[in-house]
Each structure stands twice: as C-alpha cells, then as structure tokens.
Amino acid sequence: MKIEIPREVERFGPIVFHGVQKVYELDSGLRNAKNDKDDNPIMKRIAYDTQHEIQKQMAIVVPIRNEKIKLVEGVLSGIPHHCLIIIVSNSPRFPMDRYKLEKDAIEHMEHFMDRDILIVHQKDPKLGEACAAAGYSHILDKNGVVKDGKAEGMILSKILAYICGKKYIGFIDSDNYFPGAVMEYVHEYGAGFTMSNSDYTMVRISWHSKPKVVESNLFFAKRGRASEHTNRILNRLISSFTGYGTETIKTGNAGEHAMTMDLAMKLDYSSGYSIEPYHYINVLEKFGGIIANPSEDVMNQQVEFFQIESRNPHLHEVKGDQHVKDMSKAAMECIYNSPICPEALKENIMEDLITRKILPKGEKLGNNLNYYPALENFDLRKFKDVLKNQEYAGLFKDKLPEFKETKVSKPLRDTKMAKERVLPEKGKLEMK
C-alpha cells in the first residue's frame, strides 16, 4: 500500500490525532522490490511483506446480528488469510436458531478457506460464566449472560483476541457488500500500525464514499448522516481546550477501526453504538491531562490516532432513519455526559439534537449508556480457564502477554478526580 503522510496533526497532551490520509496504491509490492523510490518524504510505502507480518498478529472481529448469510460469507472472503477471524454473533436462537445456520455456513467456508475461525454466540452461558470468573460482570445481564449490543459483543471479542495472544485487533461490520473493501480496510489497519511509533495506536477508516441511488442514478455521498454531526462536536470539543478551531476528526462514528491490544486493554468502553465516538472521549478523559494524569509510559510513547481514507465505496445494509437517529443520539450522549464536556458545548449538542428532531424541545438529554471499565484491571487468565474445554480453546495461548503497567484503578467516571474537575467557564469558549 502506498499512502500519503498526514497533512494535519492535532496534539493534545500526549495524544496525537493525525489528519485523514489518502491511499495512492492499494498494493505497492514487496519490501525488496527493484526500482523502489523509498526516499519520497511525503509518501509512505507499506510493503506486502510488512502487511503480512502484521496480519499474522492481528485478529479481525466480525460482529453479527441477523445479517444475511451471503453477506457475511462475502465479508469473510475479504479478510486476509493470516488474520485470525473472530465472529461474535448475537442473532436470535428462537424460534429458529439463526446462529446455528450461521455457524454451519461459516464452518463450511472454513474448510474451503483452510483456516481457523473462532465463532461464539454472545449469549453463550459459558462466556457469561467466564466473564464472572474474571470479575468482569459489568457486561452481564441479570441472567448472567452478556448483554445485547454491538459494544458488548466487541468487548467480549477483545478478551478472546487477547487470550489468543494477538497484538492487534480490527473490526469489520458483517453487512458490507464489497469483499474488496473489507480487504482494503485490513491493509489500512496494517498501514496505520506500521506508521505508528507507539504501542497505543488506533486506526480508523474514513470511507471515500457511500453509494446511494438518487433519482435512478448512483450518487457517491462523502459522509454518513450521523458522522457529520459527531465529527463537528468532537472537533469543537478539541478546539475548546486548544483554543484553535479544527476539522481534523473525520471518523467519529467509524465502525471500521483497529487498535493495538495494549490500547484496547487500557480503554473504558461505553455501550451500544456510542462505543466508537467514546474511544475519542475516553482517550481524552484518561490521557488528555484535563482530569487525570496519564501514566508515564503513555506520556513517553503517546497515543496515536490514524484516519485513513479508503478507496472502495462503502456499501452496507440500509437500516433506516430511526437507526441513524439512535446512533447519533448515543454519540451525543457519550460526549455530553463526559466530565470533560464544557457547558458551552453541551448547549451546542442540545441545539443540534433539537434542530434534527432527535430530541423534543424542552426535554433533557439523559444518560442511558452503560460504561465498562478497562480490561487491564481484570484477571483474564480466569476467563480463559473457564473456557478450556470449549471447541475453540485450541486457539488460546498458554502464556498471555503481560501488560506494561497493571495498576488497579477504578473507571475514571467513578473517581473523585472526575467529580472535582476544573473546566473552562461557560461563555469563555468560542465554539462557533
């Protein structure tokens, strides 16, 4: 892959937000290819062999709920061979067992692909038991099984990727119509990790376009409907602290994203569709130096965000207006309720929600989200032990990677520090 270096960079304490980067070649050849011009200062070449080395250490997670099996098969065919595929399905098991159909179809594909696929059902009681054994009951419901929700499925997959010894984890939605786009995303994840200097790195995909049919013609829209608003508010949040306007964040709602396991283990998560924008918020809360002091290792290494613009159009299942509104509301809720959200920005959020008829005038924006503490504080070996007789246990590693620093801390929002925060006064901020 050949990719331009970031044009803009926004720094926030030890956090680095790189501006969107364009891809110029999807495949740029082997590392030692002849006629290489590797001295181009504005282009980064990520050789095929470098991608391969990263893919061997990467888990690609495909969350599923009630998708067409043909679509899922296409997605799986786009994932490079050396990545470990982890599927977390929350499809209904009654009255018809949709999960069984998915599992049969995927196992059938597995034979032809000649690779291992780890497939679990989100509500498998054994997984609930494993979470409880590790002390991570936060994502369980009153019956002791993992709650519904994409975020909850993703958190589960992070634990699974960790006990499979993976260094990187990437997410790809299962409702993508273009296997070629799926493959491209994985290469872009690899490109981001190669460009990073830090163990704490996240790569987010900004789609080049989203095709739609408008008056019988194909129209390639630039951004999703929810993203535009989430990005604007996230950028305002950053400007309110730096004092400079910015448009750097373009991937507030990116479902397609990847991160190092070191970062995945350190983040708190929020529920449902707010999980993606909350990655930005939580990194700012934990490492931005506004309300908590980042650990020495994070200070030294920095947290790096890469945003890469994909070349393939992004075409997925259309799930209707209400779905977009719910997603947008969840995104705004996680920003609004953050202890770092200034009053002036809260007012902006309310105006935005009322104008878009997501919230009726006069109604308050509550907080219906759940927050889950970072996994680094839990004993995941116990999680692994409970699952030792499962059919997929062969994929687990005997020795789990150590965390750089395992300090037991409560999630930020419960701490005294979060409550005694000092924020800029209302009115002192120039938000518009």
376 binds, among Co ion, ligand GDP, none (CB under 5 to 8 A by kind): none
CB of 145 to Co ion, least distance (A): 24
Pick from 20, 54, 67, 328: which binds ligand GDP (CB under 6 A)? 67
Distances 259 to 18, 134, 276, 371, 417 between C-alpha atoms, Å: 15, 23, 12, 19, 27
Partner residues linked to 9 by β-bridges: 18
Contacts to ligand GDP from residues 166-185, by CB under 6 A = 173-175
The residues binding Co ion (CB under 5 A) are 173, 175, 316
Pick from 55, 122, 198, 312: which binds ligand GDP (CB under 6 A)? 122
Q: What is the spatial distance between Cα 238 and Cα 240, in angstroms, rounded to a whole number?
A: 5
Residues 6+ apart with CB under 8 A from 312: 178, 180, 181, 184, 208
Is residue 149 a contact point for ligand GDP (CB under 6 A)? yes
What six digits make up the tokens of 149? 């929700």
Q: Which part of the chain contacts ligand GDP (CB under 6 A), choosing from 20-28, 57-65, 212-220, 376-384?
A: 57-65
Pick from 14, 78, 128, 153: which binds ligand GDP (CB under 6 A)? 153
What six digits make up the tokens of 318? 């259309």
166 binds, among ligand GDP, Co ion, none (CB under 5 to 8 A by kind): none
Q: Is 293 exposed, middle or buried (0-12, 13-18, 19+ CB in 10 A)?
A: middle
- Kindly tell me which of 298 and 324 has the beta carbon lying closer to ligand GDP: 324
Q: What is the spatial distance between Cα 218 and Cα 294, in angstroms, rounded to a whole number?
A: 47
Q: What is the spatial distance between Cα 336 and Cα 346, in angstroms, rounded to a whole number?
A: 6
Contact 77/179 with Cβ under 8 angstroms? yes
- Kindly tell me which of 19 and 255 has the beta carbon lying closer to ligand GDP: 255
What six digits make up the tokens of 12? 């926030």
∠ CA 172-175-178, rounded to 5°? 80
Residues 6+ apart with CB under 8 A from 354: 360, 361
Q: Which part of the chain contacts ligand GDP (CB under 6 A), choosing from 19-27, 149-157, 299-307, 364-372?
A: 149-157
Contact 279/202 with Cβ under 8 angstroms? yes
Is residue 36 a contact point for ligand GDP (CB under 6 A)? no
- Kindly tell me which of 175 and 276 has the beta carbon lying closer to Co ion: 175
Site string for ligand GDP, 313-352 (x = CB under 6 A): ---xx-x---x-----------------------------
Q: Which part of the chain contacts ligand GDP (CB under 6 A), choosing from 62-70, 263-271, 366-374, 422-430?
A: 62-70
What six digits make up the tokens of 121? 């059902």
- Kindly tell me which of 96 and 417 has the beta carbon lying closer to ligand GDP: 96
Q: Which residues bind ligand GDP (CB under 6 A)?
A: 63-65, 67, 88-90, 122, 148-150, 153, 173-175, 255, 316-317, 319, 323
